[in-house]
Amino acid sequence: MSLFLGLISKPASADAIIPDQDIHHAATLVVANSKAWKPFSYIDKSGEPKGLLVDLWKEFGRVNNINVAFKLTDWNKSLELVRQGKADVHAGLLWSSERAQFLDFGNKLANLDGQLFLEKKLLSQSIDDIFNNEPLGVVKGSYEDSFIRHEFPQATLIVFDNNQEMLDAALSHKINGFIADFQIANFYLFTANEQGAFSPAKHLYTESMRPAVAKGNYALLSYVKEGFSKLDKDTLNRIQRKWLHVETVYPSYLLPIVISTAVIIIVLYIVQLKVTVAKRTKALNLANQELKLLAAQDPLTGISNRRFFTAALESQNRSRETGMTLMLFDIDKFKSVNDSYGHHIGDQALQAIVNVIRPRLCEKAVFGRIGGEEFSIFLTSLNKSQAFEFANLIQSCVEKSPIKTDIGEINITISLGAIYTERQDISCTDLMTQADLLMYRAKNQGRNCSEYKEV
């Protein structure tokens, strides 16, 4: 006997009233639900009630020491059973104002997501077009049924008695779209190995699934509420995991799109990185060249500074196989230029002297400012007579050239010492010292002349 209504009886049709075989207690609670609502409630091939709600209610029976019998039928009929008092409880369903007229609802058991599922070929159409033009499947008397009729009154609906029939119609291409609970449609598609056939195209709602009793049966309602509160959380989680751990159905084109997008992003990132690295390397090279130049250059005249000149002289003196010509010259009475016209004009005179000499030098000659008004030139392309001739040329071109400054042209002369050598064993210091001595000899000769010798 049913504890509440005395409802257990033989089924009149293929629908099943199935006592829970594992539970042997005195009282019996008759629980109704859909026979094709996988994974929540369904009848398997051997006629057994199965599903998340079936497991939950079995656990309810075990904890509350009561027999539970399942009456699983078409959806609409399952509501009628509770409404007409032919079942004690509806195992789980969503609240709606329509249902609330004849049912009282208990606490939440799980969430359900209403979803529009479409065949791939319809995915490119707008949702409005779909609701306006495409006949859509829905289970009769289901929450989705009333939701769509209320929210999308223009939709053309094809009504099925249960989810199994609707999914069968969808998979045999009789309908191109349907509205169903996400978890339920997923379960059917997945277990039918048709994951890619239909894709979720629009989420419609998320609502709580609750048990329900006939309107006004408050004693039973509080018994159900209290009964569920005794179930421990671990068991509830275990049951949820067991039935809802079904692979989500993603459209088959999603993975290639995700992979292609990731590849494009990575390629763009690498290209951008390479462009940035190339730009920075170029800027760095330019900065390095500038630094090198600054480190080697005399800032006033732009010719080599003492450090670079000495290093270059040493390097060429070591490696040369020809004669070396080294000239050293100093501006005559330069102090009086500064004293008469100012340091600024003195600077301009230094620059002008360099501009007079530089065009007369071959490309391989190295020209350096090695002191305040002291300069030096070395080159390895001349023989002895050419070297002395060239020394005279440098010395005389300064005297003869106009040295232009802001106050006009001024006369400048230099005293020059030149050394020529073909010896390989002579050091740079020796060469510089000898050239220096010759330059001082030129000064002593009365300036504006050159002294040279071979060593």
Nearest residue to 62 via CA among 37, 89, 25, 103: 25
Residue 303 half-sphere exposure toward CB, CA atoms < 13 A: 29
- State the minimum distance, in angstroms, from the CB of residue 348 to ligand GTP: 8
Q: Which of 171, 197, 200, 168 is nearest to 183 (CA)?
A: 200
Q: Which of 48, 373, 389, 451 is catalytic?
A: 373
80 is catalytic: no
**Residue 120 or 306 with smaller CB distance to ligand GTP:** 306
Q: If binding is defined by CB under 6 A, does position 332 make contact with ligand GTP?
A: yes
For the CB of residue 419, give the shortest distance to ligand GTP in the complex, in Å: 19
Structural contact between residues 415 and 439, judged by C-beta atoms closer than 8 angstroms: yes
Binding mask 335-364 for ligand GTP (x = CB under 6 A): x--x----x--xx--x--------------
Number of residues engaging ligand GTP in binding (CB under 6 A): 15
The residue with tokens 């006004």 is 216
Q: Which helix (H) or strand (E) holds 135?
A: none
Contact stretch for ligand GTP (CB under 6 A) within 41-49, 65-73, 270-278, 324-332: 324-332
If one counts every other C-beta atom within 10 angstroms of the C-beta of residue 84, the result is 10
Residue 360 C-beta: closest distance to ligand GTP, Å: 22
Site for ligand GTP in 75-104 (CB under 6 A): none
Q: How far is the CB of 352 from ligand GTP (least distance, A)?
A: 12
**Segment interacting with ligand GTP, rule: CB under 6 A, options 154-162, 218-226, 228-236, 330-338:** 330-338
Nearer residue to ligand GTP within complex by CB, 243 or 375 = 375
Q: Any contact of residue 331 with ligand GTP (CB under 6 A)?
A: yes
The reply to whether 451 sits near ligand GTP by the rule CB under 6 A is: no
What dihedral do alpha carbons 220, 180, 43, 81 form, nearest 10°? 40
Smallest distance, ligand GTP to C-beta of residue 375, A: 11
- 330 near ligand GTP, judged by CB under 6 A: yes
Give the one residue of 6, 11, 135, 372 binding ligand GTP; rule: CB under 6 A: 372
Whole-number minimum distance, CB 350 to ligand GTP, in Å? 6
Distance between CA atoms of 233 and 105, rounded to whole angstroms? 21
Longest Cα pair distance anywhere in the chain, in angstroms?
143
Single out the residue of 232, 261, 389 nearest to residue 325, CA to CA: 389
Q: Rule CB under 6 A: say whether 375 interacts with ligand GTP.
A: no
Question: Which of 450, 435, 423, 430 minimizes the C-alpha distance to 326?
Answer: 435
- Residues near ligand GTP (CB under 6 A) are 330-335, 338, 343, 346-347, 350, 372-373, 443, 447
Q: Catalytic positions, please?
A: 373
